Amino acid sequence: MNTISKIEVNSFLALIILFCLTGNIEPVTAQNNIIKPKGNLELTSPGDIWPQIMTGSTFNEFWTYHFYLDNDLEITIVFSLANFGSLKSPVSGARASILGFDDRDYQVLREFPIDRLVQDENNYRIQMRPDRKIWFEGELPGNHKISFVTSKDGVDYDIKLELTNIQQGYKWGDGIFSIDGSRVGIVTHIPYARAHGTVRINNREQTVRGSAYMDHVFQDKITTRLFSDGFRFVHHSNQDEWEAGHFLGSDKRDEHNVIGYALSKNNGEVTLKKPVRLIRSESERVFGHSLPKNIRIEFDDGTNRTVERIRDRERFEMLQELGRLARRLARSYLRGEVVEFRGEARFISGKNDEPVRYNYFIVD
């Protein structure tokens, strides 16, 4: 998710105080009216990669890449667009989490004015700013590259990754869900690919190989005003055997308030699974927050999948760069803070010896 850079804290704080004093905060309403896509499994097209929702007074859009690499190295890169309404000007951004690089973990965030965003239709490139090497490009599923080169807080980052053997992308129908009239899109552009390239942090560089996954979420309201939590799991064996699911809950109190879907490929056949219930159980404290140990997804065909967290590797808090007062006021305006967790998991039944990666967020 996007965050606020330190140089913007004073103006950000002033705006929040103004909005709190004048009462310019939308009323909280129950979210029960969910409309899911019509149809079934559909192939993505190359044009689905472009921004889908850069209009309106508020929006969020995310392209989230997960790289599962050799030697326990895991990288997540999130490219994003956000409009927080009158709170601040629209921005583009990028965040990288690097876990296990020389036995250390890193998080780095960059944010830019959205009017500097580059959309190069000839090369299928989306670049956060023309003078920064932060971009992804390539017409899917043929080829794809990712670049994340930046410096922050005295640390230099240079990540260049290329994808091969990219599997066809999918979506449920047109990929569009509705929650109380708010539009939410979920598209799985890369359910499985092979990844290779280099990762350099300061003067240390590694050549890396592994697998990759990427999905694309867009919504016409910010996350804290639509969802209570969200859950993603990815299991990669090879190009012919993989499974992934992405689910968003609009109200934890009602387990049926869930959107998203799961995809799996076995014996050359890709299957779409449509969720009807998201059950969170066995709560425990993780990095100071309460998280479910198990998440059970029940599907409309009567099947289910239960995922158990077994190793928690990362916590990221959306407002972590703000000072205490600015953060408290921001949480009030935004109706909470998005906190993300990432780590390893396993399937409770079947394939329980196969590696599964999880990504879970809460609005705290």
Long-range contacts of residues 120-126, Cβ cutoff 8 Å, at least 24 apart: 124/46, 124/49, 126/49, 126/50, 126/51, 126/63, 126/79
Contact 43, 123 (CB under 8 A): no
Residues 6+ apart with CB under 8 A from 55: none
Q: What is the pLDDT of residue 330?
A: 58
What strands lie across the sheet with 356-363, from one edge to the other? 269-273, 258-266, 241-249, 229-238, 356-363, 338-347, 304-317, 289-299, 275-286
Q: What is the mean pLDDT of residues 92-116?
A: 95
pLDDT score, position 141: 97
CATH top class, domain 6-363: mainly beta
Contacts of 267 (CB under 8 A, 6+ apart): 240
Q: Helices 9-22 & 324-334, crossing angle to 10 degrees?
A: 50
Which residue matches tokens 């499994």? Answer: 41
Structure-token pair, residue 148: 């994340």
Contacts of 200 (CB under 8 A, 6+ apart): 156, 157, 158, 159, 206
Cβ atoms of 347 and 237 closer than 8 Å: no
What pTM, to 2 d.p., does this model score?
Answer: 0.89
CB count within 10 Å of CB 200 equals 15
Task: For residues 30-41, give the mean pLDDT.
Answer: 83
How far apart CA 277 and CA 288 sit, in angstroms, is 27
Looking at residues 118-124, what average pLDDT do you find? 97
- Residue 255 has what pLDDT? 85
Residue 271 has pLDDT above 50, yes or no: yes
- Looking at residue 320, its pLDDT comes to 57
Q: Which residue has the higher pLDDT, 216 or 4?
A: 216
Distance CA 96, CA 320 (A): 15
pLDDT of residue 323: 59
d(CA 296, CA 277): 8
Q: How many other CB atoms sit within 10 Å of the CB of residue 178?
A: 15
Count of other CB atoms within 10 angstroms of residue 36: 17
pLDDT band at 253 (very low <50, low <70, confident <90, very high): confident
Residue 18 predicted with pLDDT over 50: no
